[in-house]
Amino acid sequence: MGTGKVYLVGAGPGDIGLITVKGLEAIKQAEVILYDRLANPKLLEFVPADCELIYCGKLPERHILRQENINDLLVKKAQEGKMVVRLKGGDPGVFGRVGEEAEALAKHQIPFEIVPGITSGIAAPLYAGIPVTHREHAESFAVITAHDKSEDGKPVLNWDSLARGIDTIAFYMGVRNLPFICENLIAYGKPSNTPVILIQWGTFGRQKTLQGTLADISDKVKEAKFSNPAIILVGPVISLREKMKWFENKPLYGRQIILARTSESPSDLAKELAAQGADVIEFPKWKRITLPVNPEILAKIDSYDQILFTSPESVDEFFNILYENQFDIRRIRAELFGVSNKSLKALRERGFIPLPADEMSVMGKRLVVCDTQWEKDENADVWLTSEKVLDSQFFPIFRRIFDDAVINTVVFPNSASVEPFMRGLRECGIHLMENVQIVSMGKKTMNAVMKQGLPVSEMPKQATKEALVELLASKPIGIM
Amino acid at 253: Y
Q: Which residues sit opposite 115 in a β-bridge?
A: 9
Question: By the 8 A CB rule, do 217 and 229 touch?
Answer: no
Residue 141, C-beta contacts closer than 8 angstroms, at least 6 positions apart: 132, 133, 166, 167, 168, 169, 170
Instruction: Identify the H or E element spanning 271.
Output: helix 268-275
The residue from 58, 154, 250, 345 that is catalytic is 58
DSSP secondary structure string for all residues of 386-451:
EEEEE-GGGHHHHHHHHHH----EEEE-SGGGHHHHHHHHHHHT----SS-EEEESSHHHHHHHHH
HEC sequence for 109-161: CCCEEEECCCCHHHHHHHHCCCCCCECCCECCEEEEECCCCCCCCCCCCCHHH
The residue from 15, 36, 91, 371 that is catalytic is 36
- Annotated active-site residue 173? The verdict is yes
The residue from 77, 82, 83, 173 that is catalytic is 173
- Annotated active-site residue 1? The verdict is no
Question: By the 8 A CB rule, do 118 and 17 touch?
Answer: no
Q: What is the C-alpha to C-alpha distance for residues 145 and 94, in angstroms, rounded to an integer?
A: 9
Category of 254 on φ-ψ map: left (φ > 0), alpha (ψ -120 to 50) or beta: left
- Annotated active-site residue 36? The verdict is yes
Catalytic site residues? 36, 58, 173
